[in-house]
Structure 1
Amino acid sequence: MLSPTQDLSSPDDWPSPGSGDAGAPETAYPPAAGPATEPPAPSGYVAAEPPAPSSYPSAEALPLRKAAPGRSFAHGLRRMIRSESLPTAPMRVVDRLVDSPYANPRRNKETSEARRTLNFAVRLAETMFHYGADAMDVESAIVAICATYGVEDVDVDITNQSITINYVSNSGIYLDAEQQSGSEAEIFSHTVVRVVRSWSDNYSGLTTTHRLVKTITDGELSRAEAERRLTRITSEPKPFPRWMTTWANILAAGSFTVGIGGEWFGAVLACLTFAVVTPVSAKFAKWRVPSFFIMAAGSATVTAVAMTAYTLGLPISPAHVIGSGLIMLLPTFRLVSTIQDAINGFPVTAAGRMVSTGLSFVGLIAGLAIAISLTTTFFAFPEVDMLEVVFASADWYLHVVFMLLATALVAVSVQVSPRHILPGVLSAAVGMVVYYLATALGVGPRMISLAGAVGVGCASAWLAQRYTIPQVVLAVPGLMFLLPGLSIFRGMYMFTVDSNPIEGLVPLINASAVILSLAASVVLGNYLMRPFMKQRQPRRLRAPRRR
């Protein structure tokens, strides 16, 4: 019989054979090794700490000792506050879908097949990146699709051009369609990686892909049908043929020239210039020439043509012709996505995109500088007096009409779906209203542009939710009228030609800061409109999410 005061934590304290109560059968100590089960501890006893492995056979039951007062309560309290999940378990990334277009995904009723679901998700993510989506939208789409088809708690890593999805299963989730034998499925890990190496100006394809994800998260589409629809999206032609996008670029250059205060003859010259620049740039892109050289060639061509016409005495303002050309050539689309990635928590992706976008911007400046140096130094073209050039917009009605026309033409050039061109023009119109209101209130010139960009961001975010399309489809064309093409030309010209190049750095730095601020203001407009967009969501989307 064990005594509550007897410590049996050491083999030396075990009773010898034959000791104990009278009539008790003799028992050999220690017990023989073998497959024995550990008996439950009597009431009031807890298992002692195991001694070193060499002090007793591994098959022996642990000796017992009296529980210290309060030990059971402390042990239970520690178990209560200790996390049940491992610290290295994947976080519930499905929580990141809050405030995204794919919030509250509905679980599809079909059996989860993790491998096919992950392969489909990475394929769709690659398509979205290829069409110009930002990293936040791509990550939200991946998480929403996986959650809809029963694969939750995936780890998604988007780094510049690389997309990585990792999933570690729970029991009951199957690797393939064939179920595992046994009482529960085998736990497995599956990782898929895709590197996006090409981009396309196809906002119609981005819109269709966005709507496909929305249909999936609403629980209205099986995975097999979703795969077939994605195949159709990637194989269908663009809404506008190449000749139409070429004409859209040509006419947009002329519209921007009039909108920023240029002459009618200057608008015609800008159209003729882009009749050469657009097909040549397309041919260079087809030959996979780096973007730096494409931008440099385009800006050099525009500058050389404008300076030549000015030297020949044609009634044009070279600053306005070159300024409109720079507006057309600026990498606005990639810049907006870059700022969105930086603000939304993708710093590595934003840094990579910023390098490529910055090189394109440097290419523009390099081509402009080369053309100015050649025309003024080697060919003795007359210099442009920056003090005599009037950097003022046209009359307000001309500015509004031609800038809105240019917005529609830019939307055509980036393959926006025809039924979404008008919402993009409306976004630009709202930005212009805010722009002129800020002007009437006497706000500074930089704040006027930022206010207009916030207006574009708010309008594009609200209209994008209403038409179920990504915001960037409406925001990028609507932002074009605010780009500082004239400031870039003035700064580069002063830096290249004037005797004091430091004075030219100030306009260049200001123009760069304005461009970055415009992109950030568009993102700010999206965040400002989120409370109003939440109120417009259907009731089923505002229901509490699954836990």
Structure 2
Amino acid sequence: MNAPPPDRHEEHRGDDRDPREVREINATMDLALRIGELLLSSGAGAGDVSAAMNNVARSCGLRGYSADVMFTELTMSQQSSPDQPALIQIRQVRYREVDYGDLTEVDHIIRDLVAGRIDRGEARARLNRISSTGHQRPRWSVTAALGVMGAGVGALLGGDWVVVLVSAAAAMLVDRMQRRMGKRRLPTFYQQVAGGLLATLIAVGVTATPAEVSSSLVISTSIVMLLAGVNFLGAIQDALTGFPVTAGARILEAFLNTSGVVAGVSGGLQVADVLGIDLGRVNPGAYTIANVPVMVVGGAVAAAGYAFSAYAPVRSLAPIGAVAAVAVGVYAAAYDRGFGIAWSSALAALLLGLVSYPVASRAKVPSLVVVAACITPFLPGLSIYRGLTLLATDAASALLAMVTAVAIALGLSSGAILGEYLAQPIRREARRLENKLAGPRLVGPYTVLGASGTRRRQRKRQRRREADAD
């Protein structure tokens, strides 16, 4: 018995979607993906990027969608019903220079879109302006800011005025060299090798002078800006917020970059041996603890310098310096009372998480800008560097250093996230958001509330524009 011929209408039912509806869906997904790309390339965590994409899509009235965040790829799909083909868009994320100024403007776009103050067309136009314009500061000022950051780190790690000056000079010279290498599109690993080599040669040159300085301390302070503490911290944050694949990729990147620094430092020490310069016994990652006032000032200077070098708005520099100074003071007090480096870091990060939310709100910047800048003095980069350097000669010390780095990163990440958990419901208690807690948000609004009201306002503005056009 022959089977009945297939129903032509049944066969093509999945292709009967209104073209205007398809264009609307594609436009919304494209906006969400472009916003997510800029946030991820600017250092936002995978959880924040996923929440921002969901907020944008929901504010524009999109339903039946899913968003996926990977380390180098963003994916978004939409399927209105099971009998219709899914619409899928994929966007590659190629990391660029972090720009907290652009990040702040994108954060304002998301908040205005969620609140219904702008529609999708205006959000797209504003995003195009951000993407098409360059940085708002001359490059020489960024190099100078990195020098200020290096000086602050030198003071924070207990260096005298010679070490502070060398740290500042090394940070600026390494930045200029890596900038030139980046224009030639050399991979980051080779830039790290060259940076570690240059910083070590600077330390070798200083040690060859009559100045009485510790070669180990000079090397440690000169390579701090090269160490991948931020990436390692972001990896722990992604792991804690449910993005293990992205966390694994970031951990691999952090260790690869730090390995480049280790190779560069090793090359510099070999050059010193060839030239016959006696550096004494070099202790990798060595530093001392400065007195509390110097630590507080050094931490504030380092945080503000990093924020300026990352193009954070000028209005946020003073609050960032003040918050960093308080956090360093808390860390020093806890460490003096025997809490240990990991717990002291966690307490300081908890304070940052609690304070960054209201401070960022007053400065009109995302919380990520405040947290990332203020957490700079506590990064575990030196412990990672020490562990990788000692891996071939002293396995026990290397393991201890790596465990210390993981403990510091866990303390900083968990403390900052816990602070956000506690701060956001408290601030929004009047809006009854404590029962809707879905996770900390360092970028973008907390969630999309009153979406139906937002859409009503958008439709009302559309009808008003149509009436004015008639």
Q: Distance in 1 between matches of 2:272 and 2:334?
A: 40
Secondary structure of the equivalent of 1:252?
helix
Residue matched to 2:159? 262
The alpha carbon displacement at 1:288 in A equals 1.6
Q: Distance in 2 between matches of 1:152 and 1:465?
A: 30
Equivalent residue runs for 1:188-337 within 5 Å: 189-337=86-234
Equivalent residue runs for 1:134-533 within 5 Å: 134-169=45-80, 189-376=86-273, 378-385=274-281, 391-484=287-380, 501-502=394-395, 504-506=397-399, 508-517=401-410, 518-533=412-427
The alpha carbon displacement at 1:504 in A equals 4.2
Given the superposition, is the C-alpha separation of residues 333 and 150 from structure 1 closer, same or farther in structure 2, using an over 3 Å criterion? same
Equivalent residue runs for 1:65-104 within 5 Å: none
Deviation string 1:204-260 (CA, Å, 9 cap, x unpaired) is: 111110110111011111111111111111123323210100111122212211221
The alpha carbon displacement at 1:195 in A equals 0.8
Work out whether residues 386 and 490 of structure 1, in 8 Å CA contact, stay in contact via their aligned partners in 2.
no
Secondary structure of the equivalent of 2:223?
helix
Q: Counterpart amino acid of 1:197?
A: R
Bigger proportion of residues as helix: 2
Given the superposition, is the C-alpha separation of residues 536 and 443 from structure 1 closer, same or farther in structure 2, using an over 3 Å criterion? farther
Instruction: Compare 320-329 and 200-209 and name the one that shifted more.
Output: 320-329
The alpha carbon displacement at 1:190 in A equals 1.6
The alpha carbon displacement at 1:420 in A equals 1.6
Q: Distance in 1 between matches of 2:382 and 2:451?
A: 53
Q: Distance in 2 between matches of 1:304 and 1:503?
A: 29
Work out whether residues 435 and 448 of structure 1, in 8 Å CA contact, stay in contact via their aligned partners in 2.
yes
Q: Distance in 1 between matches of 2:418 and 2:93?
A: 28
Return the TM-score normalized by structure 2: 0.80
Q: Distance in 1 between matches of 2:80 and 2:259?
A: 47
Given the superposition, is the C-alpha separation of residues 507 and 308 from structure 1 closer, same or farther in structure 2, using an over 3 Å criterion? farther
Secondary structure of the equivalent of 1:529?
helix
Work out whether residues 266 and 315 of structure 1, in 8 Å CA contact, stay in contact via their aligned partners in 2.
no
Work out whether residues 323 and 485 of structure 1, in 8 Å CA contact, stay in contact via their aligned partners in 2.
no
Work out whether residues 134 and 337 of structure 1, in 8 Å CA contact, stay in contact via their aligned partners in 2.
yes
Given the superposition, is the C-alpha separation of residues 384 and 519 from structure 1 closer, same or farther in structure 2, using an over 3 Å criterion? farther
The alpha carbon displacement at 1:345 in A equals 1.3
Given the superposition, is the C-alpha separation of residues 468 and 324 from structure 1 closer, same or farther in structure 2, using an over 3 Å criterion? same
Deviation string 1:161-196 (CA, Å, 9 cap, x unpaired) is: 11111111259xxxxxxxxxxxxxx95532111111
Given the superposition, is the C-alpha separation of residues 537 and 405 from structure 1 closer, same or farther in structure 2, using an over 3 Å criterion? farther
Q: Distance in 2 between matches of 1:441 and 1:544?
A: 45
Work out whether residues 323 and 489 of structure 1, in 8 Å CA contact, stay in contact via their aligned partners in 2.
no
Q: Counterpart amino acid of 1:217?
A: V
Q: Distance in 1 between matches of 2:447 and 2:116?
A: 15
The alpha carbon displacement at 1:112 in A equals 9.4
Work out the number of aligned pairs and report it.
423
Q: Counterpart amino acid of 1:293?
A: Y
Given the superposition, is the C-alpha separation of residues 468 and 536 from structure 1 closer, same or farther in structure 2, using an over 3 Å criterion? farther
Structure possessing the higher radius of gyration over alpha carbons: 1
Q: Distance in 2 between matches of 1:488 and 1:337?
A: 15
Q: Distance in 1 between matches of 2:188 and 2:220?
A: 20
Deviation string 1:318-362 (CA, Å, 9 cap, x unpaired) is: 222222223222233333332222211111122222222221122
Return the TM-score normalized by structure 1: 0.70
Q: Distance in 2 between matches of 1:161 and 1:536?
A: 39
Work out whether residues 320 and 486 of structure 1, in 8 Å CA contact, stay in contact via their aligned partners in 2.
no
Instruction: Compare 253-262 and 445-454 and name the one that shifted more.
Output: 445-454
Secondary structure of the equivalent of 1:113?
helix
Structure 1, unaligned stretches of length 5 or more? 1-52, 59-109, 172-185
Secondary structure of the equivalent of 1:393?
coil
Q: CA RMSD in A?
A: 3.3
Q: Counterpart amino acid of 1:311?
A: A
Q: Distance in 2 between matches of 1:362 and 1:248?
A: 26
* Structure 1 residue corresponding to 2:36, chosen from 103, 119, 125: 125
Given the superposition, is the C-alpha separation of residues 265 and 492 from structure 1 closer, same or farther in structure 2, using an over 3 Å criterion? farther
Secondary structure of the equivalent of 1:431?
helix
Secondary structure of the equivalent of 1:166?
strand
Q: Distance in 2 between matches of 1:487 and 1:136?
A: 27
Work out whether residues 391 and 486 of structure 1, in 8 Å CA contact, stay in contact via their aligned partners in 2.
no
Work out whether residues 196 and 265 of structure 2, in 8 Å CA contact, stay in contact via their aligned partners in 1.
yes
Structure 2, unaligned stretches of length 5 or more? 5-20, 434-445, 453-470
Given the superposition, is the C-alpha separation of residues 398 and 542 from structure 1 closer, same or farther in structure 2, using an over 3 Å criterion? closer
Work out whether residues 245 and 412 of structure 1, in 8 Å CA contact, stay in contact via their aligned partners in 2.
yes
Q: Distance in 2 between matches of 1:117 and 1:489?
A: 44
Given the superposition, is the C-alpha separation of residues 249 and 214 from structure 1 closer, same or farther in structure 2, using an over 3 Å criterion? same
Work out whether residues 216 and 222 of structure 1, in 8 Å CA contact, stay in contact via their aligned partners in 2.
yes
Q: Distance in 2 between matches of 1:230 and 1:138?
A: 16
Residue matched to 2:442? none
Work out whether residues 380 and 409 of structure 2, in 8 Å CA contact, stay in contact via their aligned partners in 1.
no
Q: Distance in 2 between matches of 1:490 and 1:341?
A: 24
Q: Distance in 1 between matches of 2:288 and 2:230?
A: 26
Given the superposition, is the C-alpha separation of residues 159 and 484 from structure 1 closer, same or farther in structure 2, using an over 3 Å criterion? closer
